[in-house]
Every structure is written in structure tokens, then in C-alpha cells.
Structure 1
Amino acid sequence: MQTGENEQALRRIIDFTRFISLAILFLHFYLTCYSAFQQWGLTQSIVDSILLPVSKMAIFKSTMLAKLAALITLMISLLGTKGKKDEKIKARSALAFAVIGLLLYFLSAVFLKAHYSFAVRALLYISITSFGYLFMLSGISALFRILKLKLANDIFNKANESFPQEERYLDHEYSINLPAVYHYKGKVRNSWINIINPFRGTLIGGSPGSGKSYFVIRHIITQHISKGFSMLIYDFKYDDLTKIAYNALLKYGHLYKVRPTFYVINLEQIMHRANPLEPETMLDITDAIDASRTIMLGLNREWIKKQGDFFVESPINFITAIMWFLRKYQDGRFCTLPHVIELAQVDYKDLFEVLLQEPEIEVLINPFISAWQNEAFEQLEGQVASAKISLARLSSPQLYYVLSGDDFSFDINNPDEPKIVCLANNPQKSQVNGAVLSLYINRINKLVNQKNRQKCSMIFDEFPTIYFNGIDHLIATARSNKVAVTLAVQDYSQLKKDYGRDQAEVIMNIVGNIVCGQVTGDTAKQLSERFGKINQQKESVSINSQDTSISRSTQLDFAIPASKIAGLSSGEFVGMVSDDPTNKIELKVFHNEIQNDHLALNKEELAYKTIPSVRNIDQATILQNYQQIKDDIKVIVQSVIVNS
């Protein structure tokens, strides 16, 4: 018990033991150097009569035994000391003091045989032995205090913030399995990141260079292709992911029941052509509204935060009316985005006369016609000009050529005709290209999220560079239709900037699987709170003038603090996975380093086959198609006006 009485009693015992040590040493000096003491006049007959029986004790029969007895009692007295901790004490210097003292203490016996007078020999022996004793007392007491007060040397609290992680390899027909290592209780252990339910959505985060593509996305592509998934890949930096997907298909294509066809939509280096407004997929006017919203918000990202405003909704309604007119005219023969762009540039007088021929869009264009008839031209320009200006950025012969073809349909997870479609972007032209690719994604989404289809994986690298209207709805409902959605972002702030705070929060909170590399700020804080807390041991030191005490306690603290997430190395990831009723995972949170076989991957990449060219197209054909679309619009306007 740490009571005052017990501590006082202990202190008395320590003092008494040390007194015994000094008494033994003094008696040894007196008995060994008795002649010298006589010369110095320090002997008394009464003292001698008392010490004579003591001298017959076994410990005083030899110099070594007496010194050992004094040393042992000294060590016993030091065991119970609690001296104040001095931060300046160095273990090396304390040990040096103890060793020097020990040598002086035992080697001083040499001076008893020196060629000096006995008094000089006795003085040297007593002095050197005493110095050795004091050196040992100083050094050993310092050593005892250092050992007693030594705290954990885990400066960055790594041991406390480690926790058990999933070490089982849980593989099945849908899973993504990433090998990793982690630290726990001072040991490096093997583990697995088992994304056993990718249909609940996967968010991959990390700043540039954190290893999102190299350590995670490439394995999602190869593993899903090896397991028979159809696939849509948004390749922001073409052809990084496209090349991986193409070569994975060459390697695992034979495992499919029906081998998928590989398609690439590239708006700069023309590969395949496809019409995102193909009339067969636009079943009613709501499809046209959705497509119009996607392309307009994709071209004007700042409008995303202003949805519902008059001058945002008006251009969307205007383009919707044009799209639906072309869908209904001659059964959609001219229903392509290039035709929409060209028809939007027609003069108001002719354009409104043409659009009025379609009853279903009369409600949409009525505000524009009213403004035109009432000569409110400034209002009309505000409503329409923003749409014209935005679409004018897409007026390119190459774009027109790609967007007006029909090499394939968008039902990529059709069991009878599965497809792997890669949408290629260029970081230098991401705004314009991203808007068009967003329209492709929107149309594919409409057909993919249906029942009785083949399992499908949709992977979006640098997701904020496109506008995906309804991504939250896709993640929420696609699970039952076997559609796995993977979103790669650099930071939550980037998502918030491009999609608005509300939509960004929904995306962050709705995904079931998170794999995140180095991020900072609000993103790191949100993730740290999401991963929860664990019991951690805390130590505290109390230093006063007499004593030093250490207290240890346990308390709940963040398993992965925000500062730790902000300092992750490349290839090091934190996250949480979700499970399902048939595959339970108790240890869902992880903080580990994904293991890539760099030599094998490098060898594999060197053996990659290049993506073959699909068509050799000359500039004349592209320009001819461009002009044909313009001529089509002229013919449509003239024929409608004449027949009206």
C-alpha cells in the first residue's frame, strides 16, 4: 500500500541497510589497518574490547569477503530507492561511474602490499576504497533510477495505434482481394483487403502519387475481367487504364461464356463511334431531359450548385426541346448530339416554327416563344444564348464524326453481347471532353442498371472531372442488379468543388467500401471519425522534489488519427470494407501497405500489346460528315416550314 506510514518504514529500512554497509566497511578498515590507526592515535581499549568479538565473524576473515558484504548490503539499500528523476542522467556515464568505482573498490587491496610505510599504505587503501565505494553509490543509484523510470520509446505512438486486421483470404466470384502487410504488437503481419461486396460502391481516395491506380484500380480491372465482368472504364489519362483492360481481356477472355467485345471512345484519336442519343434508348421525354441536363451541367460545372435557378433551367429546357423534336422527327433518324448543336444555332424565327410542330415540347418552349413574341429579346438571349455558347464549344468535325456513328449499343452488360468500353479523356482538354463523355456515361447508366443482366463493373478514374447525374441513385440501387461502381477521387474538397457540398456528402456517405491513401484536411478528419476509436495505453510521469511516479491508463482514442492519414506513404492505405450476410467480416477497418510484385508487374507491362487501330480515317471523310450534318439541319428546317 502506498501510504505515508509504509513509505516511512521503507525509508528507515533502506537507511538502516545502508548504515550496515558503511559499518561493515568501517570495521573492515579498522581491523585491516589497525597498526596505522594505532600510529594515528585513533584506538581505544574499550572500543577494541567491543570489536574483538566482531572481528571473529566469518566476513572479516578476508578482505574480499568484507568488501563483498559491504557491497551486497549497499545494493540492497539501493533497490528500494525512488530518487527524483534527472533528465540529464546518461546511462553511459552512470555505468562508467559504477564500473570505475567497482575497479577502485576491489583493486585498492594492491596498495596494502606497496613498498611504503604501513601508515601510507593504509591511507592509500582507505582513500581509494572509499572513493570506489562513493563512485559505485553514485553510478548504481543513477542506473537504478534510469531503469525504474524508463518509459516507452514509441515516439509516434505506432504501437498504440495498431490493431488486428483481416488476415484471411476471402475470395468469391465478385470479390476484389489485395494482399497487404500491417504492424501489430511490434510485428509485421500479412493481411488481405477483401472487398467482398463491390456492389455496395467503392471509393478510392488519395492525393496525386499516393498509388490509387498502381496499387488498387489496376487490380480491380484485372480481377473483375478474370471473373467475367462486363466493364465501363473512364480513363482520364488515356491509355493508362485502357491498356491494362485490353491486355487483361486478351489473357482472361476465354473464361467468359460469351467473349466481350472491346470498344474505345476517343474524341481525339478516333477509334470507335457511338451515338449517345441513339433513339432506341430514349423512350420518353424524361430521357431527353436527363441527357440535356447532363451535357449542359457538364459544360458549365458552376451550374451544378445553381440547379433550379431560372437561367440554369431555361437552357436545359431549351436543349431538351430540341433533342425530343429530333427524336420524334422521322423516328429519330437525325437524333444525334451534332444535329442538336446545329439545330440550336438556327435563327429564332425558323427554330420556334420548327419546334412548334411537336406537341409534346410545346410546354417546354412556350416561355421562349412568349419572350420572342413580346419582343423581350434581352430575356430571350439570356435564356438561350448560354445554351448556344456552351454547345458551340463542341462544334468540331472530329467530335461530330465520333458522336454520329453507331458502332455499338450501350447495353454493355447484355449477356448475349457483353462489352468492355473505355472512355478516353485528355487532361489538357478535360472540360469539353468530360462533358461529352458524361453524356455517354449517362446513357450507359440507363441501360446497365436493369435486372437479369451480366455482372458489370463501372470504374471512374478522377471522377470529379465528369458530371454523372444520379451517381448516388446508381450506387443505392445497382447492388441488386450486380453493378459494381468504383469512384477514384483525389480529395473530398475536389468532389465538393465540382459537385456541390450536398452531393459530395451523399457520395462520401453512401459508399460501402473505402480505400484511401494520403489525404489531408476535412477528408482525413472525416475518415478518422468513420474508422472509430480503440483502447490505447497512456503513460504519464509526475516529478517532484523527492520522488518520480509513473501512472498508466487506457482510454478510447482514434484508431487512425487524421495526422496519420495525412502522412501515409505511397502504397499505404487506410479504409473500411463492407460485408454481406453470407460473408461476415468482423475486422472491417484496415491500415496497411498493399504489396505489389513490382518486378512481375514491370515485366507484364513490357509485354503488353498495343491497342490496335480500329479505322484509318482521312480528314476529308471527317469534314464531309461535318458538312452533311449541317446540310441535314437545313433540309429539316426547310421541309418542316414548307409542310407547316
Structure 2
Amino acid sequence: MQTGENEQALRKVIDFTRLLSIGILLIHFYLVCFPAFEVWGLTTLVVSKVLLPISKIGIFQKVLYAKASVLVLLLISLIGSKGKKDEKIRLKTIITYTLTGLLLFGLSSVLLRINYSVQAKALFYIGVTSLGYLLMLSGLSLLFRMLKLKMGNDIFNRENESFPQEERLLMNEYSINLPAVYYLKGTIRKSWINVINPFRGTLIGGSPGSGKSYFVIRHIITQHIQKGFTMLLYDFKYDDLTKIVYNALRKYGHLYKIKPTQYIINLEQIMHRANPLEPETMVDITDAIDSSRTIMLGLNREWIKKQGDFFVESPINFITAIMWFLKKYQDGRYCTLPHVIELAQVNYKELFEVLLQEPEIEVLINPFISAWQNEAYEQLEGQVASAKISLARLSSPQLYYVLSGNDFSLDINNPAEPKIVCLANNPQKSQVYGAVLSLYINRINKLVNRKNQQKCSMIFDEFPTIYFNGIDNLIATARSNKVAVTLAVQDYSQLKKDYGREQAEVILNIVGNIVFGQVTGDTAKQLSERFGKINQEKESVSINSSDTSVSKSVQLDYSIPASKIAGLSSGEFVGMVADDPTNKIELKTFHNEIQNDHDALKKEEDAYEPIPAVRKVSSEEVLMNYQQIKTDIKNLVISVTQGR
């Protein structure tokens, strides 16, 4: 208890100890310099009789013992002192005073051996020793009054915001393992980002230049190919990632039971051809509805936020009817997207006459026929024209050629015929190409997310540039079917702009693994809240005219504040990983710097083989295919209308 009586008693003990230290020093002076005191006439019989027995005590037998006793008592007296703390006291001053005083106090014994008179030797010795004692007293007094605060040394609170991270390498047949280093309480330690369950979904984020592709995505590609995954890759800036896939497959292809074949869908430089509307894969009309919704919302991204509106759903139903008719007509002979586009351009009278031949779509086209029969042409134009105008943007000979071929089926994780499919986009034409590639992704999703298939990795670079209808359902259900989904975005706001707030929130909240580089604003705030809080030591100081008080406390605060996420360097990432019952991870949150072997990667890239050309297609062949599709639709309309 800090009562007044206790403090007063402590003060008396301290004063007595210091007085005892000074008393021993004075007795030592008297005994060592006794001849000089005799000359000066400062000795008396009484004092000599009192000090004679004292001089036989061990501490006065040698100079060293006496000085050591004085020094020990001085230290004891200062340890219990409670002077006013002062933040202006500097360690350099304390060290200077203390060391100088200690040298003078300890080496003053040499003065007793000099060839001077006993008076001179005594004066020198007493003066130098006393000066050394006073300097030590001043220096040590300052030491116990120095205000030692951490606040000035760690202005960015780096020490408090460091926390233990996973340092074990946890591997399994599906994992992604990234070596890293992190800072913990003044030391740099090695760690691992262990995505041991990629089937729970992985979201990678970061502003341009933060290192998403170089530090994370490239390793996901190479490690999953090394572990025998089939793959769907959306390469926004072809051929940055496709080249990695091609060379990784050349290097690790022998590890597969059946080596997969790589296919590339490139709408500019024709590589492989594939029909996303394969009639064999469209089991019922709901598949046509999904495909129609994907292509229309992909072409009109603003419609995503207006789903359910009359003038959004009407074009979708219109294209659905056309798709399902072509699927049923002559066993799907003309069931391709180019044929859908051309059939949609036929005039209303002939088109409705053709579509009425299929009973299953009668309910879909009934509103259009009613509007046409009632001469509500403005309404009809509003319903149909938006679909025609949107699809007209896809009317290109090259697109028709790629979309009407059949080089491979879209069941990429079929164990008997595994595939690695790369979808190539061009940032300058991303809106048109993105809609077509979205249709491929939608159809592959339907075929991939099934039981008893080979493990599959679906990687989407710059995910907001495509429209993936049902991405949340894929992430939620794909885990049991061994489908690992990886989405790369630049910022959460980008996801909200293209997918709408509700869908963006679902995507952010449903993924189990998050790896983010430098981001700002709401994204950084949401991540900071997701990572949670840790115990942090806080110091506060109160200085007034009579006293200085320092208080320390421990309180919960964000482990990774939003400001720190906004200031991450390239290669630095924050995030959280998910575990599974067989591999528990206690330290799921991380804030570290991924370690790439830059020289090895540079050497590897220099040795990359270029992607070979698949086919040589002449412009005449492409144009001939384009004209053939138009002819097919004309013949179809004539056949149906005249046959009736």
C-alpha cells in the first residue's frame, strides 16, 4: 500500500544508506591521509581512539574494499529514490557523468604513490575521489530519473502491430504454398502462406503493380499443374499467363496419369475452335436460359443491377427461345452462337413463324407475338431491338469461325480426356470479347461442377471484366467436387461496379482464402475488420510541475489497420487462409512479404518456349464460314416456313 507513512519510512532508509556511504568515504579519507591530518592539526585523541577499532574492520584494510563499499551503498540508496521523471534527460549525458566519475573514483588511488608532500598527496586524492563520487552520484541520479518511453522510437506502431504467423510448411495434394518473411518484435522471421484447401475459394486482390500475377497467380498455376489439376484459365492480357501454363505443362506433364491437352480460345489470333452451345451439353431449357442471361448481361453490364426489369428479362427470354429452338431443330445441327445471332436478325413475321414450331418455347415468345399481333410495335422494338443491337456487336467473321467449330468438348475435368483451356482476352476489346468468353465459362462451369471428375483449377485474372453468372454457387458447392476457384480483382469497388453491391459482398464473404496486396478505401477497411484485433501495449505520460507519471495498459486494436494495408509495397500481402479438419491452422492471418527467387524466375522465363501456332487459316476460309452460317439460317427459315 502506498501510504504516506510507508513513503516516509522509505525516504529515511534511503537517506541513511546514502549518509552511511558518505560516512565510510570520510572515514576512509581520515585513515588513508592520517599523516596529512596530523600536519594540519586536525587529529584529536578522542577521534583516534574511536577510529582505531573501526580501522580494523575488513572494508578499511584495503583502499579497494573501502571504495567498493562506498559504491555499493551509493547504488542501493539511488535504487530506492523517487525523483521526478524528466523526458529531457539523455542517455549520453548519464554515461558521460557516470564513466568519468567511475574513472576518477577508481584511479585516484594512484595519487597516493606520487612523490609529493603528504599534504599535497592528501589534497589531490581527496579532491579527485570526491569529484568522482559526485559525478557518479549525478549520473546515476539522472539514470533513475530518465523517462524511458517507447512512443518516440516506434512512431508507426510497428512493434505492437506485429503478430506471430504460420512458420510451418503444410502441404497436401491440393495445396498452394508460398514462402514469405514477416516482422515480429524486432526480428525478421521466415513463414509460409499455406492455402491447404483451395476448394473453399481464393480471392486475390491488389492495385496495379502490387504483384498479384508475379507473386501469387503464377505459383498457383505451376503448383496446380505440378499436382495434376486440369485447368480453366482466363488470361485477360494474353499471353502473359497462357505462356506460363504452356511451359509448366511441358515441364510437369509427365506427372499426370493421362497428360492433358492444352486448348486456347483466342478471338483475335485464331487457335482452337469450340462451340459453347454444344447441343449435347444443353440438357434442358434452363441451360439455354443461363447461356442467354450470360451473353446478354455480358454485353450489357449495366443490366446486372436491373435484373428482373421488363426490358431486361424480355431480351433474355427472346434469345433463350432462339437458342432452344436451334437445339431442338434437326438434333442441334445449327445450335451455335453465330446461328443464334443470325436468326435473331430475321424479320418478325418469319421469325415468329419459325419459333412457333417448337412447343417448349411458346410460353417464352407469347408476349412478343401478342405485341406483334396487337400492333404494339414500339413495345416490341423495346423488347427485341436491345437484343438484336447487343448481338450485332458479335457479328464478326473471326468470332463466327471460332464459335462454330468443334475442336474439343468443354468437359475439361473428364478423367478420360483431361484438358487445360486458356481463354484469351484483349484489354482494348474486353467488353465484346469478355461477353463471349463469359459464355464459355458458364458452359464449362455446368460441366465441371459434377461428381467423380478429375480435380480442377479455375483461375480468373481480372475477374470483373467477365460476367460469371452463378460464381457464388460454384464456390459454395465446388468444394465437394474438387474444383478450386481463384478470382483476381484490383479492388472491391471494381467488383461492386461490375457485379452490383449484393453480388460483390457475397463473393467477398463466401471465399475462404484471401490474399490482398496494396488497396485503399472501403476495401482496406473491410479487410482490416476481417483480420480482427490483437492485444497491444499502450503507454501514456503525464508531466506536471511536481511529478511525472507513466501509465501502461494493454488493449485490443486492429492487427492490420486500413492505413497499413493502403501502404503495402509490391510483394507485400495480407490475408487469411482456411484450413480443414485434417490440417488445422491456428495462425490463419498473415502480413508478410512473399519471397520470389527473381534470378531463377528470370532464367526460367528466358528459357520459355513460345506458344506454337495451332492452325493456319486464310481470310477466305473465315469469310466462307461466315457466309455459310448466314446461308444456313436463310435455308432454315425457308425450309420451316414453306414446309408449313
Same fold (TM over 0.5): yes
Match of 2:459 in 1: 459
Contact kept, 8 Å, 2:166 with 2:587, in 1: the verdict is yes
1:362 aligned onto 2:369: no
Contact kept, 8 Å, 1:84 with 1:543, in 2: the verdict is no
- Cα distance in 2 for residues equivalent to 1:124 and 1:257: 95
Match of 2:393 in 1: 393
Match of 1:165 in 2: 165
Contact kept, 8 Å, 2:86 with 2:548, in 1: the verdict is no
- Select between 629-638 and 468-477 the one with higher mean Cα deviation: 629-638
- Cα distance in 2 for residues equivalent to 1:61 and 1:179: 66
**How many Å apart are 1:441 and its aligned residue?**
0.2
- Select between 260-269 and 63-72 the one with higher mean Cα deviation: 63-72
RMSD in angstroms over aligned alpha carbons? 3.2
Contact kept, 8 Å, 1:84 with 1:544, in 2: the verdict is no
Match of 1:205 in 2: 205
**How many Å apart are 1:436 and its aligned residue?**
0.7
Match of 1:329 in 2: 329
Supply the AA of the counterpart residue of 1:149. Answer: K
Contact kept, 8 Å, 1:271 with 1:613, in 2: the verdict is yes
Match of 1:506 in 2: 506
Match of 1:568 in 2: 568
Distance 1:164 1:132, change over 3 A: closer
Supply the AA of the counterpart residue of 2:277. Answer: L
- Cα distance in 2 for residues equivalent to 1:613 and 1:175: 33
- Cα distance in 2 for residues equivalent to 1:227 and 1:17: 75
Match of 2:193 in 1: 193
Distance 1:615 1:44, change over 3 A: closer
1:626 aligned onto 2:626: yes
- Cα distance in 2 for residues equivalent to 1:344 and 1:624: 21
Match of 2:533 in 1: 533
- Select between 496-505 and 558-567 the one with higher mean Cα deviation: 558-567
**How many Å apart are 1:612 and its aligned residue?**
0.8
Match of 2:490 in 1: 490
Identity of aligned residues (%): 78
**How many Å apart are 1:108 and its aligned residue?**
7.3
Please list the CA deviations of residues 120-170 of structure 1 after superposition, one character each: whole Å capped at 9, or x if unmatched: 998887776655544333222112333x73548554444443444333333
Contact kept, 8 Å, 1:205 with 1:516, in 2: the verdict is yes
- Cα distance in 1 for residues equivalent to 2:63 and 2:171: 76
SS of structure 2 residue aligned to 1:149: coil
| Matched ranges for 1:394-543 at <5 A | 394-543=394-543
- Cα distance in 2 for residues equivalent to 1:535 and 1:150: 19
- Cα distance in 2 for residues equivalent to 1:229 and 1:218: 14
**How many Å apart are 1:621 and its aligned residue?**
1.6
Match of 2:339 in 1: 339
Q: How many correspondences in the alignment?
A: 639
**How many Å apart are 1:411 and its aligned residue?**
0.8
Distance 1:169 1:127, change over 3 A: closer
Distance 1:175 1:99, change over 3 A: closer
**How many Å apart are 1:36 and its aligned residue?**
10
SS of structure 1 residue aligned to 2:231: strand
**How many Å apart are 1:371 and its aligned residue?**
2.5
Distance 1:448 1:31, change over 3 A: closer
Match of 2:316 in 1: 316
Unaligned 5+ runs, structure 2: none
Distance 1:411 1:107, change over 3 A: closer
Supply the AA of the counterpart residue of 2:515. Answer: V
Supply the AA of the counterpart residue of 2:288. Answer: A
Please list the CA deviations of residues 260-286 of structure 1 after superposition, one character each: whole Å capped at 9, or x if unmatched: 111000011110011111212222221
Match of 1:149 in 2: 148
- Cα distance in 1 for residues equivalent to 2:111 and 2:63: 13
- Cα distance in 2 for residues equivalent to 1:413 and 1:33: 101
**How many Å apart are 1:599 and its aligned residue?**
2.0
Supply the AA of the counterpart residue of 2:308. Answer: G
Please list the CA deviations of residues 433-456 of structure 1 after superposition, one character each: whole Å capped at 9, or x if unmatched: 111100000011111111221111
- Cα distance in 1 for residues equivalent to 2:121 and 2:492: 84
Please list the CA deviations of residues 512-537 of structure 1 after superposition, one character each: whole Å capped at 9, or x if unmatched: 22222222332233223333333344
SS of structure 1 residue aligned to 2:287: helix
| Matched ranges for 1:234-273 at <5 A | 234-273=234-273
**How many Å apart are 1:189 and its aligned residue?**
3.5
Unaligned 5+ runs, structure 1: none
Contact kept, 8 Å, 2:149 with 2:539, in 1: the verdict is no
Q: If the length of structure 1 is used for normalisation, what is the TM-score?
A: 0.90
Match of 2:278 in 1: 278
Match of 1:90 in 2: 90
- Select between 383-392 and 118-127 the one with higher mean Cα deviation: 118-127
SS of structure 2 residue aligned to 1:575: strand
- Cα distance in 2 for residues equivalent to 1:446 and 1:61: 99
**How many Å apart are 1:64 and its aligned residue?**
7.5
Contact kept, 8 Å, 1:84 with 1:545, in 2: the verdict is no
**How many Å apart are 1:294 and its aligned residue?**
0.3
Supply the AA of the counterpart residue of 1:209. Answer: G
- Cα distance in 2 for residues equivalent to 1:522 and 1:54: 84
- Cα distance in 2 for residues equivalent to 1:190 and 1:108: 53
Contact kept, 8 Å, 1:83 with 1:548, in 2: the verdict is no
Q: If the length of structure 2 is used for normalisation, what is the TM-score?
A: 0.90
Contact kept, 8 Å, 2:98 with 2:140, in 1: the verdict is yes
- Cα distance in 1 for residues equivalent to 2:576 and 2:36: 83
- Select between 508-517 and 519-528 the one with higher mean Cα deviation: 519-528
**How many Å apart are 1:38 and its aligned residue?**
11
**How many Å apart are 1:363 and its aligned residue?**
1.9
Distance 1:28 1:386, change over 3 A: same
SS of structure 1 residue aligned to 2:180: strand
SS of structure 1 residue aligned to 2:84: coil
Distance 1:512 1:111, change over 3 A: closer
Please list the CA deviations of residues 372-415 of structure 1 after superposition, one character each: whole Å capped at 9, or x if unmatched: 33333322222222222221221222111111111111111111
Supply the AA of the counterpart residue of 2:270. Answer: I
Contact kept, 8 Å, 1:83 with 1:546, in 2: the verdict is no
